Amino acid sequence: MANFPDPYHFLQPYIADYPSWSDPAYDVKLGEATANTDSAVRMKELAECEATLLRAMPIIPLYFDTWVYLERPELHGLHLNPLGVPSFKFAWLEQHGSLQ
């Protein structure tokens, strides 16, 4: 899981020393994307790196993390953060009468 909402976190492990796979063009493109300060161009370059990685398929994703939870109608303000994790910081329960 990423610590911040940026694709670089997921693409970086496949630079040069990944077991049984390397692509010098991928390494160069990822380095160029990292050095770019224009966010629109940077995201386009990172998308190209991702496409290269998906075409090469050095990994096969077998597990997809999910969050399964029940949400009561009295719960408000619960939102998923940009990484898909429930954020309880601004959540609150609406009180209806007395609790039993």
- Indicate the pLDDT class of residue 87, thresholds 50, 70 and 90: confident
Q: Is the pTM here over 0.75, yes or no?
A: no
Per-residue confidence (pLDDT) for residue 51, from 0 to 100? 95
Task: Return the higher-pLDDT residue of 16 and 25.
Answer: 25
Within a domain: residue 23? yes
Within a domain: residue 12? yes
Within a domain: residue 94? no
Q: How many domains does the chain have?
A: 1
Per-residue confidence (pLDDT) for residue 97, from 0 to 100? 56
User: DSSP character for 76?
Assistant: E
Name the E strands within 2-85.
Answer: 75-76, 79-80
CA–CA–CA angle 79, 85, 91 (5° rounding) = 35
Within a domain: residue 1? no
pLDDT in tens, 23-71: 999 999 999 999 999 999 999 999 999 999 999 988 887 877 777 777 7
Residues whose CB is less than 8 angstroms from the CB of residue 33 and which lie 6 or more positions away in sequence, other chains included: 8, 42, 45, 46, 49
- Indicate the pLDDT class of residue 21, thresholds 50, 70 and 90: confident
Q: In this model, does residue 100 exceed pLDDT 50?
A: no
